[in-house]
Homo-oligomer: A and B are copies of this chain.
């Protein structure tokens, strides 16, 4: 197994100004190739400390991925530090210079000396052309170790990893073949799911591993098969995918790795179904979960964020009597919200949510965390009550995801 380490360079991370989401993303991509991350290290723009981190990483790993510290200003010292580490001088990379010049031309800005120097790279480096920015990616081989340096800007780094680094890694290292297959489940807890598929899990051959990746109401099951012929691994793994799907059919959302909402949108689009929303306590978050995905407009018609009672009546047609007699957080209200959305917005399905997100607004009867959800289809409205916790943000997230799970179950019943 090839071991890798990630070194992120930059004061922003160490003062807590930004969260290092790059490392998790890189770790996932490398894991998919069968490379294990041994350590992730964040250090500041300090030459001796960067050198120390490089030396330490080279003791433990064969592949060292470095991000950050490649900007044009004088506090960005990764490049000069790497040249010192490898004990080499600099060369100018013409392809990078052209990219930099083009970017400055496009924005009509003068190309300064410090920008031109972005095209200077350590002599022993193979340039990985960065089409999205001025700092090139760099690939080094040195004393039986491979070093890759990339800018820390996430979309520049992601482009380089996908288009340049991963293909080069697959060429350079003798990686065992590895095939992954992800099954997305929703509405079933990790331990209950494990119970349901325990026989399949114990029957797995030694070269196929099963990982449980839980996240807010969803569990991703990732089957990974290692070694030998890739096509045979694919065939073998697909048999286990079929078995798992057959064991828990009602909870399987997708047999590929995609976001839960995307899976619902795809399911509905394939059947030319539409959905609308009626949100109170989730305040637009449910609509956002759907509309963050490209192509959602084919399925999602829109919705009402009816925070005030007036708007519940006006946009959704909830009866003032219902609000008066049962309150905004009640089965009756959420039912009328869902029916109102269905009728007024003209969708095939609708989702309504009303609850007490907190921290204020709770009572003995309806404590903070109480949430009513309704899903309406052409012939019926299903309602469900939840009692989450005290934290507002989590209550909003859980309410939205659980509402989508309810929609998903009804879609399965109606259309499978």
Q: Is A229 an interface residue (CB 8 A)?
A: no
Contact of A315 among B24, B43, B287, B302 (CB under 8 A): B302
Contact of A283 among B25, B49, B290, B391 (CB under 8 A): B290
User: Which residues of chain B have C-beta atoms less than 8 A from A346's C-beta?
Assistant: 310
With A20-B23, A24-B13, A31-B15 already in contact, the answer to whether A291 and B305 are too (CB < 8 A) is: yes
Chain A 6-44 near chain B by CB (<8 Å), digits 1 or 0 = 000000011111111101111111010000111111111
Closest to A393 in B: B292
User: If A303-B305, A315-B302 touch, does A358 touch B294 (CB 8 Å cutoff)?
Assistant: yes
- Counting chain B CB atoms within 10 Å of each CB, which of A20, A42, A53 scores highest? A42
Whether a CB of chain B sits under 8 angstroms from the CB of A301 is yes
The interface residues of chain B lying within 8 Å CB-to-CB of A307 are: 291, 296-297, 300-302
Contact A27 B15 (CB under 8 A): yes
For the complex formed, measure the closest distance between the CB of A20 and the CB atoms of chain B, giving whole angstroms: 6
Given contacts A20-B24, A315-B315, contact A288 B284 (CB under 8 A): yes
Q: Please, how many angstroms separate the alpha-carbon atoms of A285 and B292 in the complex?
A: 9
Question: Beyond A15-B28, A19-B21, A20-B23, is A288–B291 a contact (Cβ under 8 Å)?
Answer: no
Tell whether, in the assembled complex, residue B16 and residue A28 are in contact, meaning their CB atoms are under 8 Å apart: yes
**Is there an interface contact between A27 and B39, defined as CB atoms closer than 8 Å?**
no
With A19-B19, A21-B19, A283-B291 known to touch, is A311 a contact of B305 (CB < 8 Å)? no
Chain B residues, CB < 8 A from A288: 282-285, 288, 396
B28, B294, B304: the one contacting A360 at CB < 8 Å is: B294
- For residues 222 through 258 of chain A, which have their beta carbon under 8 Å from a beta carbon of chain B? none
Q: Is the CB of A284 within 8 A of B305?
A: yes
* Of A37, A53, A155, most B-chain CB atoms within 10 Å: A37
**Chain A contact residues, CB within 8 Å of chain B:** 13-21, 23-29, 31, 36-44, 49, 53, 56, 155, 213, 277, 279, 282-288, 290-292, 294-297, 300-308, 310-311, 314-315, 344-346, 358-360, 391-393, 396
Known: A283-B287, A294-B392. 19 other contacts (CB 8 A): A13-B23, A13-B24, A14-B36, A17-B28, A20-B24, A20-B40, A23-B42, A41-B42, A56-B56, A284-B284, A284-B287, A284-B305, A285-B291, A291-B307, A301-B308, A302-B305, A303-B304, A303-B305, A304-B315
